[in-house]
Amino acid sequence: MPIRRGALEAQADRIEAILAQHRVPGQIDGGVVTPRMVQYHLCTPLGVKVGKVAALAEELALALGCRDVRIYRREGKLLVEVPRRIPAPVRLLPLCEAMEPPAAGTALLGVEGSGAPLLLRLPSPDVVHVLIAGTTGSGKTALARTLLASLAYFHSPDAVRLLLIDPKGRGFGPLTALPHVLGQVVDTPEAGAARLAQIAQEMERRDRAGVNRPLLVVAIDELADLLQTGGRTLEAMITRLAQRGREAGVHLVACTQKPTATLIGGAMKANFPVRLVGAVASRDEARYATGLRDSGAEKLEGKGDFLLVAKGEAVRFQAAWLGPADLAAVAAHSRARGQAQGAGQNEGEKR
């Protein structure tokens, strides 16, 4: 449901009034309405400290009648983010259908603050592997499904293959409808270790042959549980794949609801340069998950409200939602494209 202009102006006036009550001069100068947030641009006179404005987040949230208000600086602007009372849904399939095919190895995550699609190119040196963190209900597994399904939408099975490891056996099961998936979902630590050993052998074979195609994306749900039950051997195997996978076209996408210092140690920090962080329980968990001191991840709304953290910067976005009907449409689209490509190759051979 669209927000009336009058309601936006009234909210902006309220923000200015609260700032004035606390002797912080400032004026709202435009903004952006996103599916999850209203992002106001706040102009303050020279000399007003950002920290002084940010310290009023609780007062603003109380005055506006919302759970949290996030205040931060980005690209020379001071932004005040206020959650919408009724968030607008963001569906993956319409976003994919409206886009031109992106660069090879690119996934679609959702929409960022400006309303533009947020893309993530796995083969980029700044990406390679992705860690998705957040509490139960944050939408981390749903985001992983969105990332993997978007890869399937934009790439044929000859270009991208998916391997799924899910100890609980629930999160990734629907994705087996995609023709890109290798085998069934691996749902035990023992089977996970065996499959990862096979991937390591494939990585070494590719290194010797000097090839890196098709891209092989290894998705792991509940990484912490897998490491706890699989022990040091499994941890060493995952670390090895993370360290050497890029040159061989092997990429990891791992989810965890326990972003603790034990899990996100030195190896994880070094080898998972991109984090997708949803709602977490505390500032400490926010710091562990994002690697940033004051990311505001503990104030995220859940249900697909995420931060993309890369190179010390955080971008807030709304993850695209993938329902059962949309997943079936993605699978049908992938199969039809594969059949068309196969028919074209056969025709070329006949000629």
In a domain, 342, yes or no: no
Residues 111 and 65 in one domain: no
Q: Which of 61, 83, 105 is the last residue of a domain?
A: 83
Residue-wise pLDDT for 279-312, tens only, equals: 998 888 888 888 888 888 888 888 899 999 998 8
Reported for 100-105, long-range contacts at CB under 8 A and 24+ positions apart, including other chains, are 101/154, 102/154, 104/155, 104/159, 104/215, 105/151, 105/155, 105/160, 105/215, 105/251
In a domain, 162, yes or no: yes
Res 189 pLDDT > 90: no
Residue 111, Cβ density class (10 Å: 0-12 exposed, 13-18 middle, ≥19 buried): buried
- β-bridge pairing 37-43 and 77-83: antiparallel
Residue-wise pLDDT for 196-228, tens only, equals: 999 999 999 999 999 999 999 999 998 888 888
Residues 24 and 123 in one domain: no
The total of structural domains in the chain comes to 2
Name residue, tokens 């981390």.
140
List the CATH number of the domain containing 33. 3.30.980.40
Residue-wise pLDDT for 221-278, tens only, equals: 988 888 888 777 888 888 899 999 999 999 999 998 876 666 666 556 678 889 999 9
Residues 155 and 76 in one domain: no
Residues 71 and 98 in one domain: no
In a domain, 153, yes or no: yes
Residues 163 and 96 in one domain: yes
In a domain, 351, yes or no: no
In a domain, 344, yes or no: no
Residues 107 and 254 in one domain: yes
In a domain, 350, yes or no: no
List the CATH number of the domain containing 209. 3.40.50.300
Residues 43 and 122 in one domain: no
Residues 78 and 97 in one domain: no
Residues 20 and 122 in one domain: no
Residues 148 and 205 in one domain: yes
Name residue, tokens 């990891």.
252
Q: Give the pLDDT of residue 249.
A: 97
Q: Are 149 and 215 in contact (CB under 8 A)?
A: no
In a domain, 174, yes or no: yes
Q: Are 309 and 105 in contact (CB under 8 A)?
A: no
Residues 57 and 157 in one domain: no
Q: Report CA-CA distances (Å) from 144 to 132, 156, 162, 199, 347.
A: 8, 19, 12, 20, 37
Joined tokens for residue 202: 């494939």
Range of 48's domain?
Answer: 5-83
Residues 238 and 182 in one domain: yes
